[in-house]
Amino acid sequence: MSNARTTRRLAVLTIAGLLASGLSALGVTAVPAVAADRTVALVGDLQSELGCSADWAPDCAATELAPTGAEGIYSAVFDVPAGTYEYKVALNGGWDEAYGLDGGGDNIPLTIDGPVSLRFTFDDDLKRIGVEVAEPSTGYSASDDALIAKPVRQAGSDEQFYFVMTDRFTNGDTSNDEGGLSGDRMVTGFDPSDKGFYQGGDLAGLRDRLDYIQGLGTSAIWLTPSFANKPVQGVGADASAGYHGYWVTDFTRIDPHLGTNAELENLIADAHDRGIKVYFDIITNHTADVIDYSEKQYSYIDQATRPYTDASGDAFDPSDLAGTSAFPALDPATSFPYTPVIAEADKDAKTPAWLNDPTLYHNRGNSTWTGESVTYGDFDGLDDLMTEDPAVVDGFVKVYQDWVDLGIDGFRIDTVKHVNFEFWKTWSTRVLDYAHDKGKKDFFMFGEVYDADPVKLAPYIRDTDMNSVLDFTFQSSAVSYASGNSAKGLQTLFAGDDRYTTPDSSASALPTFLGNHDMGRVGSFLQNTDAPLERVELANELMFLTRGQPVVYYGDEQGFAGSGGDKDARQTLFATQVDEYADQKLITGEQAGSVDRYATDAPIYRQIAALSQLRRENPALLDGAQIERYAASGAGVYAFSRVAAADKIEYLVAVNNATTAQTVELTTLTADASYAVLHGDAAPISTDAGAATSSPSPPCRPWCGRRMPRSPRPPSRRRSPSLSPPPEPASPASPPYRPRSPISGRRPASRGAWSAPTPGTRSAPPRTPPRVSTTTSAG
Cα–Cα distance measured from residue 298 to residue 379, given in angstroms and rounded to the nearest whole number = 11
Q: In this structure, is the dihedral angle defined by the CA atoms of residues 570, 574, 577 and 580, taken in order, positive or negative?
A: positive
Cα–Cα distance measured from residue 233 to residue 189, given in angstroms and rounded to the nearest whole number = 9
CA 337 from centre of chain: 37
Q: Are 513 and 543 in contact (CB under 8 A)?
A: yes
Q: Are 529 and 488 in contact (CB under 8 A)?
A: no
414 is catalytic: yes
Of the candidates 51, 163, 169, the residue with the CA atom closest to the CA atom of residue 448: 163
Catalytic: which of 448, 623, 672, 681? 448
Dihedral angle over CA of 418, 423, 424, 425, nearest 10: 140
Of the candidates 658, 659, 699, 701, the residue with the CA atom closest to the CA atom of residue 677: 701
Cα three-residue angle 687-534-508, rounded to 5 degrees: 60
Cα–Cα distance measured from residue 129 to residue 87, given in angstroms and rounded to the nearest whole number = 10
* 752: three-class secondary structure by DSSP: strand
Q: How many residues make up the chain in this entry?
A: 779
Burial of 564 (0-12, 13-18, 19+ CB in 10 A): exposed
For residue 575, the tally of other CB atoms under 10 A from its CB is 14
Cα–Cα distance measured from residue 600 to residue 598, given in angstroms and rounded to the nearest whole number = 6
Contacts of residue 221, defined as CB under 8 A and 6 or more positions apart, other chains included, come to 161, 162, 164, 206, 213, 271, 276, 277, 278, 279
Catalytic: which of 159, 177, 250, 414? 414
Cα–Cα distance measured from residue 281 to residue 300, given in angstroms and rounded to the nearest whole number = 28
Helix 603-617 to helix 532-545 angle (10° resolution) is: 20
Q: Are 531 and 700 in contact (CB under 8 A)?
A: yes
Q: Are 351 and 302 in contact (CB under 8 A)?
A: no
Q: In this structure, is the dihedral angle defined by the CA atoms of residues 671, 676, 681 and 686, taken in order, positive or negative?
A: positive
SS (H, E, C) 49-80: HHCCCCCCCCCCHHHEEEECCCCCEEEEEEEE
Q: Are 467 and 458 in contact (CB under 8 A)?
A: no
For residue 689, the tally of other CB atoms under 10 A from its CB is 16
Q: Are 291 and 422 in contact (CB under 8 A)?
A: no
Q: Are 64 and 33 in contact (CB under 8 A)?
A: no
DSSP state of 779: -
Dihedral angle over CA of 63, 69, 71, 75, nearest 10: -30
CA 221 from centre of chain: 17
Q: Are 75 and 121 in contact (CB under 8 A)?
A: yes
Cα–Cα distance measured from residue 288 to residue 278, given in angstroms and rounded to the nearest whole number = 24
3-state helix, strand, coil in the chain (%, to 5): 25, 25, 50
DSSP state of 685: E
Cα–Cα distance measured from residue 374 to residue 415, given in angstroms and rounded to the nearest whole number = 10
Cα–Cα distance measured from residue 376 to residue 286, given in angstroms and rounded to the nearest whole number = 11
Q: Are 563 and 524 in contact (CB under 8 A)?
A: yes
Cα–Cα distance measured from residue 303 to residue 373, given in angstroms and rounded to the nearest whole number = 10
For residue 481, the tally of other CB atoms under 10 A from its CB is 25
Residues with catalytic roles:
414, 448
